[in-house]
Chains A and B, each alone.
Chain A
Amino acid sequence: MDVADPSDWLKTTVPKLAPVESALRCQVCKDFFDTPMITSCSHTFCSLCIRRCLTNDGKCPVCRTADQELRLRRNWTVQEIVDAFQIARPSLSSLAMLELNHSSVEKPTSKRKLDDTDLEEDTDDPIVTVQRRKTRSHDSRLSNSTDQATAPSPNEAVQAVADENHNGNGSAACPICGQRMKEEAVFLHLDTHNEPDAPSQHNLRKSRRAPSVEVVGTSRTNVKPPERLPQLNYSLMKDVALRKKLSELGIPTTGPRSLLVRRHAEWINIVNANADSSRPKSKREMLRELDIWDRSTGRSIASSGNELNNAGSIMRKDFDGAAWSANHSSDFQDLISKARNTGRADSSPRKNGSPANVIVEQENHESTTSAQLIDGLPERPASSTIPNSDDT
């Protein structure tokens, strides 16, 4: 797969476009902004990116100011700039490459095409003019082509067609109607647009020729805004309630508690980022995104269950109690003797933070949960939390 990158411009006649493109990309995912949101410290990120960051540590990734998701605001202007740039990119880049090919190595096929165009007719089409001026100064050509390429979009906020692969298969989109074709064919094709189009005709044409292109304005006003989900205070929720919540939301309920919590948080981020978007996705698509998350990040959370930061796997049906107690037997012995020394009634060892005690704390936490489920007992002292007492 080929991915468009700001560094592409470095090899063209307009390397100065590299920082322009970098500025139109989110610093977290390094991709073009998708539903840009501005933080209260005035930094802009994709909605899903900044929500994930805030879920992770509650800080702006750029300046580390504390922020909250509720304070994020949409940044439509950036969205429109990015959309317009993405539409302009293929033709901009083929122009910049064409120039390079022409001035260094002669590329027979494309050159002949160009000459043909030159010989034909005398149209006033600005693009053809631009093209004929090839050998003249860069700047005028650049500004012309940019104008031409972005001309249709300002009033319409057109949705960008995914055009990442224009380099890979050598095809490029027409900057006016979005139709895809060989790079060399674009200029000839542009002649068909040379009558001055009224903006409404643009719209008609768009919907007819490229069904995937839609006008943002309509979806923004006509469709009712998608629902947002509130955050949950997970520490107040028992496993059963949490699983119930997940099944109500229609998302998978499998896995240890820590995974359930993270999955729910991820789902909230996906749903709320989607609610910010000017072109919301269906629930099916969002579930697919969650599934991707589950199979990468989620799986690594589940598989790190044996580590100290994740005691949730102890609750799983397939938890290997024998291996666990063998691995940690020295810790347990140590803890038991410590607990005997300090006395049964005293639960203070939980307060000191040595690694061994962390295990106790988590063991304790797990067994507490199940204990409460069974008979509502309060926490038991550390010495009684030998593994295998629950579940296996």
Chain B
Amino acid sequence: MASSLASRRLFQEYRTLTSSPPDGITAGPVSEDDIFLWEALIQGPEGTPFEGGVFPAELKFPKDYPLNPPSMKFLCDIWHPNVYPTGLVCISILHAPGEDPNHYEQASERWSPIQSVEKILISVMSMLAEPNDESPANVEAAKMWREKRGMFEERVRKSVREGLGLA
């Protein structure tokens, strides 16, 4: 078939994700016409204020994937130090080794072609559980997380309830 390396690999990843999905994560292309745009659903990790929530996100893959990482954007409001107010996720696995927007990341934790959608989503899930406040994407959220943890958690819980249509 006339398909590029990128689309073959994405198809393979989709195949793996559907037949053995990791706990709390589903992901796949939005439509059959465009394998470079995926939607993912991530469950809030247990034992965190995000517990019970289901967070939809959008993954956009570059045409030279997996040489370069996709970008990931939450499609819902999410109050978190490492998520920009626009929903864009700022996490080292999504940054190519050449770029370092915040000048703190180890090369070893950045994107490499051997990473995968599954690893990204697992990293994002653990990011929800353990925010990294060294390089906040959302400064306000980071400040609140660091200084007024109770307030932070309450705000997150409230938005989770709202997301579920319970409040």
Point out residues on A near B: beta carbons under 8 Å: 1, 3, 5-8, 10-11, 27-31, 48-49, 52-53, 56-57, 59, 61-62, 64, 288, 292-293, 295-297, 299-300
Contacts and interface: CB of A to CB of B under 8 A. Distances in A.
A52 B67 contact: yes
A16 to B, nearest CB: 14
Interface in B79-96: 96
Contact of A11 (B4, B19, B96): B19
Rank and list the top 8 A-B pairs by shortest CB-CB distance, nearest first. Answer: A296-B4, A7-B19, A300-B63, A27-B114, A61-B113, A7-B20, A30-B12, A297-B63
Contacts of A299: 63
Given A53-B67, A64-B112, A1 B1 contact: yes
Contacts of B11: 1, 3
Contacts of B98: 57
Given A3-B15, A27-B113, 15 more contacts: A5-B15, A10-B20, A27-B114, A28-B66, A28-B114, A31-B8, A52-B67, A53-B67, A57-B97, A62-B114, A64-B112, A292-B2, A296-B6, A296-B63, A297-B6
B143 interface: no
A64 B114 CA distance: 11
A262 B35 CA distance: 23
B7 interface: yes
For the residues of B in contact with A, the DSSP-based class is loop
For the residues of A in contact with B, the DSSP-based class is helix
Contacts of B113: 27-28, 49, 53, 61
B19 A64 contact: no
A59 B112 CA distance: 9
Contact of B7 (A6, A59, A296, A300): A296
Interface in B25-71: 62-64, 66-68
A5 B107 contact: no
Contact of A7 (B15, B67, B108): B15
A52 B3 CA distance: 17
B104 to A, nearest CB: 17
A5 B114 contact: no
Contacts of A5: 12, 15-16, 19
A379 B16 CA distance: 53
